[in-house]
Chains A and B, each alone.
Chain A
Amino acid sequence: MGNLRGKLLPPALAIVFSMLLCGLALVISGANPLSAFGAMVTQVGKGTTLVDIINSTGIYYIAALAVAIGFQMNLFNIGVEGQYRVAAVVAAVVGGSIALPPGIHTLVIIIVGALAGAAWAAIPAILKVTRGVNEVISTIMMNGLAIGFSAYLIRRDVFGELRGNNIRTPEIPSSGWMPGISFGGSGTMFGFLFVAVALGIGYWIMMNRTRFGFELRASGESSTAASAGGVNAKKMVLVSMLLSGAIAGLIGLPEMLGRDHTFSLNFTAGIGFSGIAIALLGRNHPGGIAFGALLWAFLDKSGLALDNVGVPREIVTIMQGSIVLSVVVAYEVVRRVELAAEQRRVGRELGTVGGAA
């Protein structure tokens, strides 16, 4: 009853509400919201914007998948941010210092990234299962440490080198790169996007067609019921956290293998937190997440056009923030409304209309 409506209505409401809010902010600051929005839409067709949007969608998609695995069992992996940073720097250092045939080299870098992400996630996971430490706090602390750790690894007396004004890790030889699909002047699509798609399919199969996915969702619905049904709660926490960390370890790789070939101080930060927002927006569903990632990427990349019409492009960050907050509020409101409707329906069927319900 109203199942699809209940799923689609909240995000739609949230996006409309956020657009109105940002439109209002623009009007107050003396800009025309319609021309701003028009500039963003027409920007999609210009230059490399469309390809940039697709590339960035893939990156956000991986990030949101990493977060969603934890969310499925009420595990808040706030640490995706730190996990992908550490994984990226470790993968760059390893990739830049070994020589292997093409293909195998790339594969080794990907595996190293996943393992490094999982290892960084293992610390909060182990603290949680052995000492009962809440994962939110421990992963926040690990995020801080990740910044320090990665800054240390790219120091010039450790693994880094100075190139121009930028400190970075040694460049990965071309055998470790991942070829993309070139569109000439419109940019190059990262080859890693296929990995992202595969991850999405794998995620769907794991959640809906495997015993592990069932146990994961069961633990999320009710941990007591799951453990009564023979699910080992500690094992689930450990495995899902490591899996989440391993996927998080891949977030930095599309850019690294497809464009930068190194880890530098210009490394894109903040994708982990965007991933949290997108996973919430997409309700942990692989299709919903894809939509959310596309929306995020569109806002990010088309927002560049706003500077041309005299609007600070940071307005899109406000929009993203308000979408997250209003979407979770909208889900809650819709849930309450449906709960009340359900109670009324049950009341009617039991013939106690007009009762307390």
Chain B
Amino acid sequence: MITTLEEKPHVPAAPRKRKVPGWAVGLLGVAGAIVLLSVTSYQTGFLQLTSSGTTQTAVRLALPILLAGLGGLWAERAGVVNIGLEGMMIMGTWGAAWAGYQWGPWAAVIAAVVFGALGGLLHAIATVSFGVNHIVSGVAINLLGAGLTKYLSTLIFEPLSHNPRQSPPVQPFETYSAAGLADWLGELEQGQRLIISDVAGILRGLVTGVSPLTMLTILLVPLSYYLLWRTRFGLRLRSVGENPHAADSLGVKVYFHKYVAVIVSGALAGLGGAALVLNAGQLSYLEGQTGGRGFIGLAAMIFGNWRPGGLLGGAALFGYADGLQLRSGGETVLALVYGVVLLLGVIVVWQLIKRRWFSAAAAIVVAVLLYLLYISLDEIPSEFVSYAPHMVTLAVLAVASQRLRMPAADGVVYRRG
């Protein structure tokens, strides 16, 4: 995000040689998370932690966050901070509902993308062409998006749904399930065997009731990675976010790349809005439906250190916490605290091996505190579970802000000449 001069990391750390490639780290992380959840669920007796139902809900809730986060990634990689994701997402929800009740789910997706992209275009005009402060423009777009949709839904939805805050119902996507596979996994899940049943439960949740939008969203992650990190266009786009003056001197069209990035960012946020509207639970536009998910997407992006893989992890984590709360309430979420204590235990051992005494001591203190919390409470109040992403993000920023690496010219207004 925006930094003043003295906050910037003084010297870019010398590129460390990575022994393990990124995808392997990701796989190890997933495996570690599954083992952790599995052990936690057997220790605490909360089998819902890895049930297929929880996974299914988690996926549904993670989609909008993931899309908003991808939107943030595109804009910030080109050096434009996009606080307006929330407003663009709201515009997406309205567009999806408006096209969705008339022409079906695919039209909803397209309209949401277009509406979101219009929001992105506005942000690009303000920040890139007119050099308006990115935060200011984003705040204005959030206000504008909320106002515009309220106005339009009173005007267009109210005569049909007799409620200015809700649209007529939208036709959902057909969902697909890998029937044979899901049944087999279901049997495994019932078996109650350590790890195997848990993996089966999670996989079963992933292959049941999958909508085309889910597949599209999941595909967008590797696609964004490919476009931004493996093509000439992506290299230019990222160079604009790192050092626009240098990029300009090499003949990169800075304004063009920023415009494309911010418009794509808006389109992705709008698609996130469509994911909310086409959600099996709601199937219509509701005022206040986004509920700050644009900001949570931003949080997921920061959690993922401005990388698509990390972003996916962040969105999965936040969606999972939300899904667990929705499916099985605060007691089960408390079991997660136990899982975090276990995780901290592993971290302590690791830090001791590495002879980092201070970090180890800090981790022990946090673990003991969390354990005391775990044994003294019956459940986590539902009011707080919904805001777990916010707490996790603050914790990540507080603990690891020195290790996060955002684009160097992120939030800096660039003027040609």
Contact = CB atoms under 8 A, between A and B. Distances in A.
Interface of A: 25, 29, 74, 76, 78, 123, 127, 131-134, 136-138, 140-145, 147-149, 151-152, 155, 223-224, 227, 233, 273, 276-277, 280, 312, 314-322, 324-325, 328-329, 332-333
A276 B139 contact: yes
Nearest to B150: A314
A325 B126 CA distance: 8
A320 B387 contact: no
Given A76-B135, A137-B1, A141-B299, A328 B140 contact: yes
B169 interface: no
Contact of A325 (B140, B164, B394, B398): B140
**Nearest 7 A-B pairs (CB), nearest first?**
A317-B147, A321-B144, A312-B154, A314-B151, A314-B150, A321-B143, A148-B387
B136 interface: yes
Q: Per DSSP, are chain A's interface residues mostly helix, strand or loop, or mixed? A: helix
A132 B5 CA distance: 11
Nearest to B145: A321
B2 interface: yes
Contacts of A314: 147, 150-151, 154
A324 B151 contact: no
Contacts of B387: 144-145, 147-148
Interface stretch (B273-281, B347-355, B378-386): B378-386
Contacts of A227: 6
Nearest to A132: B7
Contact of B144 (A78, A138, A147, A325): A325
B295 A140 contact: yes
Given A74-B4, A325-B126, A155 B131 contact: no
A85 B13 CA distance: 41
B246 interface: no
A131 B398 contact: yes
Nearest to B392: A141
Contacts of B130: 329, 332-333
Contact of A141 (B145, B155, B384, B393): B393
Nearest to A134: B1
Contacts of B147: 314, 316-321
Contact of A133 (B148, B150, B397): B397
Tell me whether chain B's interface is mostly helix, strand or loop, or mixed: helix
A277 B397 contact: no
Nearest to A312: B154
A223 B6 CA distance: 9
B261 interface: no
B245 interface: no
B390 interface: yes
Contacts of A25: 151
Interface in B337-385: 381, 383-384
A127 B398 contact: yes
Contact of B397 (A127, A280, A318): A127
Nearest to B139: A276
30 contacts: A25-B151, A74-B4, A76-B135, A127-B394, A127-B398, A134-B1, A134-B7, A137-B299, A137-B302, A137-B397, A140-B83, A141-B390, A144-B292, A276-B136, A280-B136, A312-B155, A316-B147, A317-B148, A317-B150, A318-B144, A318-B148, A320-B147, A321-B145, A322-B144, A324-B136, A324-B140, A325-B126, A325-B140, A328-B137, A332-B131
B132 A137 contact: no
A315 B164 CA distance: 14
Contact of B140 (A123, A277, A315): A277
A295 to B, nearest CB: 14
A13 B286 CA distance: 35
A328 B132 contact: yes
B295 A144 contact: yes
Nearest to A127: B398
A245 B132 CA distance: 25
Nearest to B393: A141
A333 B131 CA distance: 9
Contacts of B6: 223-224, 227, 233
Given A133-B401, A144-B295, A223-B4, 9 more contacts: A74-B4, A132-B3, A136-B83, A137-B302, A137-B393, A144-B387, A324-B139, A325-B137, A328-B140
B397 A152 contact: no
Contacts of B389: 144
Interface string B288-302: 000010011011001
A259 to B, nearest CB: 25
Contacts of B151: 25, 312, 314-315, 317-318
